Amino acid sequence: MYRFEHKIQAERLFDYYAKLSLDKAIYNLNKYLDSESVSEDRRISCLLKLSILYAKSDNKIELQKTYDQTLSVTFLTNLLNTFDDQSYIVDFLDIDVEGADLEVLESLDFLKYSPALVCVEYIGKKYFGWQQQNHSSTNTVQYFVDKSLSKIADHKIKTICSGRTDTGVNALNQIVHFDTTSKRSDKNWIDGANSNLPDDIRVKRVYRVDNDFHARFLATKRTYKYFINTNIKSTIFNNSYTWVVGDKLSFSSMQLSMKYLKGVHDFSSFRSSGCQASNPQRNVSDISLVKNNGVIVFSITANAFLYHMVRNIAGTLVDIGLKKIRPKDLQIIMSKKNRKYCSKMAPPNALFLWRVSYPQKYKISYNTESILL
């Protein structure tokens, strides 16, 4: 029994468009399998030629001819899926498969093999958040990203993001997805988009993903970092990207309060009015507070966040550091489930969307190195 499951190289993909009739293909298949002198490459080529003729049939075709053989056939998109390098670009497609041309074309997912996922970095100081609120809104990050990508794609692009950042909030790794029929290399997408973007917005990477991918709904975790500056003399960590609060913070008091935030809780006390979430419960899977060269970095990871949740928590942590409230008061504030009991909201400029996590099969990786670490 011979089962064909060989992963071929991309350049061999078009070798199976030979002009062979079904009878001759079967004849050649048996001939090649019978000969030990024929290279494995030629065996594969012959099997591919035959498999195309059955592309519209079931995935497994039984051939009773000289040998008992099981020939595993597949659609063109499925074949492309077997490549380890998903960045392969088809620039020229020539199909000659003995009357099955339309079936092969119908089996090819043209959307999948164009970039559908982009990683974006931006400084949000000058923008009214990520999302374009209406058609006339031109001062959002999404407006500039969509406009730039549309120019490269040569058709209108509408992106969907992993999480909407508010006015003035920054992102180190914002994930967005979009659909396109345009064929561009990864480098052309990145360089082309960045050439049309303002200096404070950058496309960092592109990924090719399945059609079922959704940047928002498939995100499993999101991580935010908030930077609190206790060194007011710093010229680097100034109030552009940190919240300058002075050197009177009790770091140990702030650390003691961390335990009350981790886990599944009702965070109603930390969501602002206008929050549209129907369920205020969130699962905080990781939380930390570190201090480096006078900068306190508050990091929080959860499945999702409520409106202004991170900034309201950051403001409360600073009040704990200033000893306006005790660490254990954080638990009392959470139990009230009312925004009026938490502290003043921290400013947006020091907040960064740090990373967004997805199921491993999508192979989305990050470089989160930054001078702000």
What are the angstrom distances between the C-alpha of 29 and each of 5, 64, 101, 235? 16, 12, 21, 73
SS3 124: coil
Residue with tokens 């078009």: 14
Between CA 125 and CA 358 the distance in angstroms is: 27
State the catalytic residue, choosing from 166, 186, 191, 199: 166
Based on the residue annotation, tell me whether 166 is a catalytic residue of this protein.
yes
What are the angstrom distances between the C-alpha of 206 and each of 54, 186, 188, 309? 34, 6, 10, 29
Q: How many CB atoms lie within 10 A of CB 45?
A: 19
Report the length, in residues, of the chain: 373
Say which amino acid occupies 180. Answer: T
Q: Exposed (0-12), middle (13-18) or buried (19+): which is 301, by Cβ within 10 Å? A: buried
Q: How many CB atoms lie within 10 A of CB 37?
A: 6
Distance from chain centroid for Cα 207: 8
- Cβ atoms of residues 129 and 138 within 8 Å: no
Between CA 112 and CA 226 the distance in angstroms is: 36
SS3 52: helix
Residues carrying an active site annotation: 166
